[in-house]
């Protein structure tokens, strides 16, 4: 099994060079593979929306964030540079922008995501998933005014609706329930999936037909969680909760696709991909998969958040994690290709590329 996983990673890394050339050709003037990509979720796909929220700590519009972004600009991405959705957008022929833009520009797509948010509106104190979808609904109305209702409907039906959420819900539940019993876990999972179901149906009723889903990450192995474990190992109960939620998400979309006419979906496994990179770091050129590149504190450089005064590793390309919880640009590049056109272990029942072409 380890040999198979290492082979999958090597094939993925080889394919990245080909995909990058193809994407640059598309971005250089060729037609986009999809009309637009609309993004909903948390900090894994937030490209700067939290910059506009006052009085919150979940923001990244300061150094060392963005140190490897063109111009060294801290854009609000929780990364040293680009994030996974940037690469997915590049491969799809689109450029990711936040939601603070004119409707005419946003017809090519926008990220409504907000760091700290979750599937459940009770998670976090930033832009909830319900509010993100409301903002999209407002944008949809503006697009309909510009294009006509019929043309807007066609555009949306061919566009990708990308959702990356659930990690904060699981983390918050676990933080409040260190040793939850089976009843508490069951009730949480039911509330999570019921709410996820409602969000997807709302988007469907607003015109969405193609759903690209990124599942709950391997949370327990992030530097911050390791730093909280006296042994320094991954916190397995949290990983098991993430794994259970991912099974529920898979079943939800399978059922919804049979109920809702014209719906298509692809589920990318952040859980499996990060797991494979931790197991076989050398395949991706990583030398450090436990510690944060930017942070502070003696344990995994993850007892303090990344700030302008934090220590920051010199070679970000060798690190899996950028800060307490988020991947480096190098990791995100691998993530982007794995989800766009990778092995079935990382994305199924079809790839994002196949979803775009469907």
| Residue of 42, 86, 323, 341 marked active site | 323
Residue 206 · residue 156 · CB < 8 Å: yes
**What secondary structure does DSSP assign to 121-152, as a single string?**
TTS-SS--HHHHHHHHHHHHHHHHHHH-HHHH
The DSSP element (H or E) to which 213 belongs, if any, is strand 210-214
Given the residues 86, 144, 269, 326, the one annotated as active site:
326
Task: Give the angle subtended at the CA of 249 by the CAs of 244 and 255, to the nearest 5°.
Answer: 130
64: annotated active-site residue: no
What is the rounded CA–CA span in Å between residue 116 and residue 41? 9
Q: Are 210 and 134 in contact (CB under 8 A)?
A: no
326 catalytic per annotation: yes
How many Cβ atoms are within 10 Å of 156's Cβ, its own excluded?
23
Q: Which of 43, 144, 270, 332 is catalytic?
A: 43
Q: Say which DSSP state 32 is in.
A: P
Residues pairing with 110 in the sheet: 38
Counting beta carbons within 10 angstroms of the beta carbon of residue 347, is it exposed (0 to 12), middle (13 to 18) or buried (19 or more)? buried
132 burial level (CB within 10 Å; 0-12, 13-18, 19+) = buried
Ramachandran assignment for 177, one of left (phi > 0), alpha (psi -120 to 50 degrees), beta (any other): beta
Both tokens of 103, joined, read 């409707």
The single residue listed with the structure tokens 């990220």 is 111
Indicate which residues carry an active-site annotation. 43, 323, 326
């Amino acid at each position: 099994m380890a040999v198979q996983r290492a082979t999958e990673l090597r094939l993925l890394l080889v394919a990245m060079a080909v995909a990058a050339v193809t994407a640059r050709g598309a971005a250089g003037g060729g037609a986009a593979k999809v009309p637009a990509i609309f993004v909903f979720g948390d900090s894994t796909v937030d490209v700067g929306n939290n910059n506009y929220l006052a009085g919150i700590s979940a923001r990244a519009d300061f150094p060392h964030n963005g140190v490897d972004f063109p111009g060294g600009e801290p854009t609000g991405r929780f990364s040293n540079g680009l994030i996974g959705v940037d690469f997915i957008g590049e491969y799809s022929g689109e450029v990711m922008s936040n939601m603070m833009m004119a409707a005419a520009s946003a017809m090519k797509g926008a990220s409504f995501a907000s760091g700290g948010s979750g599937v459940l509106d009770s998670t976090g104190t930033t832009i909830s998933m319900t509010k993100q979808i409301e903002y999209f609904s407002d944008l949809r109305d503006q697009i309909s005014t510009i294009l006509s209702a019929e043309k807007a409907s066609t555009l949306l039906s061919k566009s990708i609706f990308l959702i990356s959420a659930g990690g904060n819900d699981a983390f918050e539940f676990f933080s409040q329930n260190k040793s939850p019993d089976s009843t508490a876990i069951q009730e949480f999972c039911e509330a999570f999936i019921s709410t996820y179901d409602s969000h997807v149906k709302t988007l469907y009723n607003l015109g969405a037909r193609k759903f690209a889903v990124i599942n709950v990450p391997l949370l327990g192995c992030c530097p911050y969680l390791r730093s909280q474990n006296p042994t320094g190992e991954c916190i397995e109960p949290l990983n098991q909760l993430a794994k259970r939620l991912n099974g529920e998400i898979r079943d939800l979309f399978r059922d919804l696709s049979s109920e809702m006419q014209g719906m298509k979906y692809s589920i990318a496994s952040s859980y499996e991909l990060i797991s494979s990179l931790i197991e076989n770091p050398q395949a991706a050129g990583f030398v450090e998969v436990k510690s944060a590149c930017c942070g502070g504190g003696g344990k995994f450089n993850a007892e303090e958040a990344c700030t302008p005064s934090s220590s920051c590793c010199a070679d970000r390309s060798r690190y899996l994690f950028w800060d307490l919880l988020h991947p480096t640009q190098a990791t995100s590049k691998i993530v982007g290709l794995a989800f766009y056109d990778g092995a079935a272990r990382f994305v199924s029942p079809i790839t994002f590329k196949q979803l775009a072409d469907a």
